[in-house]
Amino acid sequence: MPSDTTFADKPSLDQSHFCADPEKTKLGAIDELRTEGPISSFWSDAWRALRRRPLFWISVFLIAALTMIALFPGIFTSESPTHCELGRSMDPSTSGHPLGFNRQGCDIWARVIYGARTSMTVGILSALFTALIGATVGQLAGYFGGWLDGILGRIVDIFYAVPIVLASVVVMQVFRDRATALSVVLVISLFAWTPVARVARGAAIEAKASDFVTASKALGLGKYAILLRHILPNSIAPIIVTATTSLGTFIVLEATLSFLGVGLPPSVLSWGHEIANAQVTVKTHISVLLYPAGALALTVLAFILLGDAVRDALDPKSATR
């Protein structure tokens, strides 16, 4: 700076040449690089966003508790859910039987506790299977496009058009009384994978058009390698979000099927059965209905909260303010 240069405090109204004092407005390096601070990969960023949300921790706590109940029901009650005495029918709560007894004289608390396993198994496995089927179909259709997309797309449309409860009712007839939790999972997965497939297809189409995929092609990477190494990792977030948010509905769906009597056989404990059986006494003893229904609602709520938190963390664009 030549010494005769003076720096005005403020640009004047006459619009003469003004220059800020370079001592006060220091120049940084061009294109400075931030080298301190934590590494921010997609997943670490998502985790940072997730752990700041109280709702996430509430849902995690609930789901952890429910998982414990599902795995080790014996810890939570010493009663056997199948030990029923008609003599105790509709008895109120007593010590050791906090919720009292239902019409058959079974301990309600024990039946609610033991029912958790079915709901958790069906919910989690269905979400897993729908994610697997949907991701595979959607990714292949979106990535390869052309006739494959045409065929897979129509298949998705067909399954999407089928009302899931109705279809499940019909298909469950195949199993009749041999139905297990796994057969319910299979039937749900068979009809519920289409939303995931659509999301996975969209994500594949978006990722396939990006320059980094073209760059990988120019590197000589094969088309399946590109699918596995670039397309899939970039689609996994929306797939996870869709699967988690629909997990709650799968739990409801199982309860619905069992309630209708086409789900699990009466020998398998399910909140759906409990609700169905409580119908008869709903006018006189509403609590018998409320306990299993409440447990069901709480479980579904926990998973929906988790799904919401995960969606906000993985897909910041859709985040609610």
Partner 1 sequence: MSPAKKDPLLEVRDLWVTFETSAGPLEAVRGANLCVYPGQTVAIVGESGSGKSTLAHSVIGLLPGTGKVTSGEIIFEGEDIAHASRKKMVEVRGARIGMVPQDPMSNLDPVWRIGRQVREALEANGIDPSRSTYQHLAEELAVHVADTEDGRLYLSTKGRAALLAEVASQGIDIEKLEEKLIPGFTTRMEATAFLRQAGVTDAENLAETHVTGGNAKDRVTGLLAEAGLPDAARRARQFPHEFSGGMRQRTLIAMGLAARPALLIADEPTSALDVTVQRQILDHLGNLTKGLDTATLLITHDLGLAAERAEHLVVMYRGEVVESGPSLTILKGPRHPYTQRLVAAAPSLSSRRMRANRITTVVENTHDGEQAPSSASSAVVGVSERKAGGGTGGRPKDLLVIDHLTKEFTIRGRTPGRKAATFKAVDDVSFTVPHGTTVALVGESGSGKSTVANIVLRLLEPTAGRVMFDGGDVAHLRGKDLFNFRHRVQPVFQDPYGSLDPMYSIYRTIEEPLRTHKIGTKKEREAKVRELLDHVALPASTMRRFPNELSGGQRQRVAVARALALDPEVVVCDEAVSALDVLVQAQILELLATLQADLGLTYLFITHDLAVVRKVSDWVCVMQTGKLVEQAATEEVFANPKTEYTQALLDAIPGGSLELALSG
Which positions touch partner 1 (CB under 8 A)?
1, 5, 10-11, 13-20, 22, 25, 27-35, 39-42, 45, 210-212, 214-221, 225, 230, 233-234
Closest distance to partner 1 from the beta carbon of 140 (Å): 20
Token match 């088309």: residue? 223
Closest distance to partner 1 from the beta carbon of 213 (Å): 8
Residue 101, beta-bridge partner list:
107
Are 246 and 192 contacting, i.e. CB atoms less than 8 angstroms apart?
yes
Closest distance to partner 1 from the beta carbon of 153 (Å): 17
User: Considering beta carbons, is residue 16 or 284 the nearer one to partner 1?
Assistant: 16
User: Considering beta carbons, is residue 46 or 296 the nearer one to partner 1?
Assistant: 46
**Residue 21, token pair as written in the block:** 């004092």
User: Considering beta carbons, is residue 32 or 177 the nearer one to partner 1?
Assistant: 32
User: Considering beta carbons, is residue 71 or 225 the nearer one to partner 1?
Assistant: 225
**Residue 9, token pair as written in the block:** 């405090």
> How many of the other CB atoms lie within 10 Å of CB of 132?
15
Closest distance to partner 1 from the beta carbon of 244 (Å): 19
134 CB contacts (<8 Å, ≥6 apart)? 193, 194, 195, 196, 197, 198, 199, 200, 239, 242, 243
- 296, 300, 303, 307 alpha-carbon torsion, rounded to 10°: 180
Per DSSP, the three-state class of 107 is: strand
User: Considering beta carbons, is residue 88 or 229 the nearer one to partner 1?
Assistant: 229
User: Considering beta carbons, is residue 10 or 283 the nearer one to partner 1?
Assistant: 10
Closest distance to partner 1 from the beta carbon of 159 (Å): 28
Closest distance to partner 1 from the beta carbon of 26 (Å): 9
- Which region holds residue 222: left if phi is over 0, alpha if psi is between -120 and 50, else beta? beta
